[in-house]
A and B are shown apart, each in its own frame.
Chain A
Amino acid sequence: MSTTTATTYQRLTRDQLAARIAQDIPEGAYVNLGIGMPTLVANHLPAHREIVLQSENGILGMGPAPTPGQEDLDLINAGKSPVTLVAGGSYFDSAESFSMMRGGHLDISVLGAFQVAANGDLANWHTGRAGDIPAVGGAMDLAVGAKQTWVMMEHFTHQGVSKIVGACSYPLTGVRCVTRVYTDLAVMDITPGGFLLVEAVAGLTIDELQRVSGVLIAAA
């Protein structure tokens, strides 16, 4: 927990944040939910909306986790957990899967992040620390390929440092690729002018948000 602010407001829980993002995914969208926190968004997609989930390992129309005992080790998500396929779903090879991203066919990619910069630069694959083994997976592909790249993350690190930054200090995943950021404090668009506040949690003013973030955030 951060100790940088007096709490006149409540941060969103992970599930509340996931529900907030799910609310913004429109009917008919093709969406990739990155491994880690973005996976939670699937649990909050409105049942009446038809949204097609893509998994980088070759699934379109990914469904929820199977009931215990029904797991199929040939049917897993990018996080390598067992999933199901919905009616109308399909399987394909890795080259075709990444063509869906790179080719701009995917509407929304939701990714976790270490840092997002005001110009849309994203850092989410490597801390750059000596001794850490780098692993990139599909992060760089997902960052630049989709029509919209959304970031879902906690606003602060465990040490209380803002993950919304003027410029990324961690190695970049993609350049000027993020279009919107959802944190447990606020929703912000990335515009040519930098962060633009869409909404903040109740009780949090834009001045306070800027203070704790350490970057300029324009009011909508």
Chain B
Amino acid sequence: MAPSDAKSSPTVWVTPSRRLPCERRRVVACGIYEEYFAPIFLFAPRAHLRTLINKIFPTIADALADVRDGATIMIGGFGGAGMPVALVDGLIAQGARDLTIVANNAGNGETGIAALLAAGKVRKVICSFPRQADSHHFDALYRAGKVELELVPQGNLAERIRAAGAGIGGFFTRVGFGTELAKGKEVREIDGHMYVYETPIRADFALVKAEQGDRWGNLTFSKSARNFGPVMAMAASVAVASVHKIVTLGEIEPEHVVTPGIFVQRVVLVEQEALAT
């Protein structure tokens, strides 16, 4: 079968070196999409592995296996909406420590980022709104000097993350000018207004909670649970999305894809959590 008569799904040609070792292992272990094409590449310098794109990982543990100590991890969510609790639980179990967390909040109650903080895995939090009625784990660690805080206005946080994902080397914004949060930052007058220079924020991993996903990594989200998910997926080397439903290619209307698969490296199915009260 030549590439031109391949099945309706587009194909990719990858050399093993272009993939992370664990991802290649996964694809090969699945065995579903692996094919060799000796006739076509008889004279190629080495055997080529033909594989269809498959970003779906069987378990959260597989999807987070290569998180290293000291990594920067973006975690989606605004309060509880969009908080990928199952992925964060997986991160705690995985055991990486000394983490820098980039998120809007610094944990609510006992789950998600709060549990990660309580487990002692976090060195620094970059967020906009740490102090809440139920942020006791963060509060205690912060007051004890055990976690560092970089406070960022929420829109600057979103845009700094977006900038990293978009390859922008920072930007000037009016937000924060003249305040404590802009102290020491470069300022510039543009069209009669004072602007502050903000740098991009990138991450090693992004953990985002989406609604539907396919094997290319195309994602849809649910209502206001979308929040930071799309920009965080762009800004991380490895974006891991938990989805409530895995669908076949094309099942998400192309016009309805919120995050195109190019920004997503791993997709894991997580059943809808029981609604908290």
Contacts and interface: CB of A to CB of B under 8 A. Distances in A.
A201 B109 CA distance: 43
Interface in A114-169: 126, 131, 133-141, 144-145
Given A58-B224, A136-B181, A94 B176 contact: no
A59 B226 CA distance: 10
A140 B130 contact: no
Interface string B109-138: 000000000000000000011111001001
Given A57-B78, A95-B161, A145 B175 contact: yes
Contacts, number: 146
Interface string A85-116: 10000011111011001100000000000000
Interface residues of A, number: 39
Contacts of A138: 128, 153-155
Contacts of B180: 126, 171-172
Given A58-B226, A91-B226, A135-B129, A76 B81 contact: yes
A144 B128 contact: no
A94 B178 contact: no
A163 B114 CA distance: 35
Contacts of A175: 177-179, 194
A94 B227 contact: yes
Nearest to A138: B154
A174 to B, nearest CB: 7
B81 A102 contact: no
Given A94-B228, A95-B231, A102-B174, A137 B154 contact: yes
Contact of B154 (A76, A94, A134): A94
Interface string B67-83: 00000000000111110
A123 to B, nearest CB: 9
B151 interface: yes
A93 B130 contact: no
Given A58-B227, A93-B231, A138-B128, A101 B81 contact: no
A173 interface: yes
B159 interface: yes
Interface stretch (A41-49, A67-75, A186-194, A205-213): A67-75
B224 A140 contact: no
Contacts of B151: 134-136
Given A56-B154, A95-B162, A97-B158, A141 B224 contact: no
A57 B224 contact: yes
Q: Which of B161, B176, B228, B229 has its CB near the most chain A CB atoms (within 10 A)?
A: B176
B224 A55 contact: yes
B276 interface: yes
B227 A93 contact: yes
B131 A93 contact: no
A172 B230 contact: no
B156 interface: yes
Nearest to B180: A171
Contacts of A101: 155
B46 interface: no
A39 B15 CA distance: 56
Contact of B81 (A57, A92, A126): A57
B158 A94 contact: yes
Contacts of A98: 154-155, 158-159
B62 interface: no
B161 A172 contact: no
B197 interface: no
Contacts of B223: 59, 72, 74-75, 85, 91
Pairs of residues from A and B, 10 with the lowest C-beta to C-beta distance, nearest first: A98-B155, A141-B155, A175-B178, A135-B131, A94-B158, A80-B79, A140-B153, A137-B129, A74-B225, A138-B154
Interface of B: 78-82, 104, 128-132, 135, 138-139, 142-143, 149, 151-159, 161-162, 173-181, 194, 221-231, 258, 275-276
Given A56-B154, A93-B229, 13 more contacts: A75-B223, A76-B80, A80-B79, A91-B224, A102-B159, A102-B173, A133-B139, A136-B129, A137-B128, A137-B129, A140-B179, A172-B180, A175-B194
5 contacts: A93-B231, A95-B158, A133-B143, A141-B154, A175-B194
